[in-house]
Amino acid sequence: MREIVLDTETTGFEPAEGHRIVEIGAIELFNHMPTGRTFHHYVNPERAMPTEAFQVHGLGDDFLRSKPRFAEIAAAFLDFLGGDSRLVIHNAAFDMKFLNAELGWVSLPLIATDRALDTVALARRKFPGAPASLDALCRRFGIDNSAREKHGALLDSELLAEVYLELIGGRQPDLVLAVSAGPASAGVASGWKPGPRPAALPPRVTEEERAAHAALVESLGEGAIWKRFG
């Protein structure tokens, strides 16, 4: 199963008020394991960066002015998402409204909202009443977020991937121990099966323990399960 953990940074809270995306970061998971594939771009918002947004993201107008506009990266972004991969997003409604606003402005297909899994909602179901911010969840799960001095889309995606895997029960939540056929298993020979041991392991039960067990079984009478089934 392919999933994309995604985060955006923006100039404000509402695209309807003219606010725009300034950064997109995403990482690919296959069967809940990072594959190493990422998508990351800073984006020229074609507007001035508000002071409060600069304080949160640390991204200034001069820096962003040299970056591509959303229209220039939109096709590559949609290609990275793929057609049906689940999107894992913290506070998904916020990011989805900005992504679909940007896609709509450049006349590209919108992303179906039901593709997004909201990790805020997931955390609140699992820990009712507890803080569900990304920082709070990193603290809960012992995830090092010391590099998060400013909000950054790619770093936040990497942290969110770790949080998400903890929320669903670890890196192999379904106890899938078989080798995957996806990218994470590249180079592993298909059809591999373990062979027999060249020599049997030596017994770890001592003669004294065998004798004590035999005496215990004898004391249980003829109905003992060890006697009926050998």
Residues annotated as catalytic (active site), given as ranges = 151
What separation in angstroms does the CA of 197 have from each of 139, 192, 201? Answer: 44, 15, 8
Closest CA to 170 of 144, 147, 145, 143: 143
CA 104, 9, 18, 117 torsion-angle sign: positive
What separation in angstroms does the CA of 25 have from each of 21, 28, 78, 88, 161? Answer: 11, 11, 13, 12, 12
- Distance from C-alpha of 11 to C-alpha of 18, rounded to nearest angstrom: 9
Segments in 47-200 forming alpha helices (H): 51-57, 61-65, 70-81, 92-105, 119-126, 134-141, 153-167
Q: Which two tokens stand for residue 61?
A: 């107008």
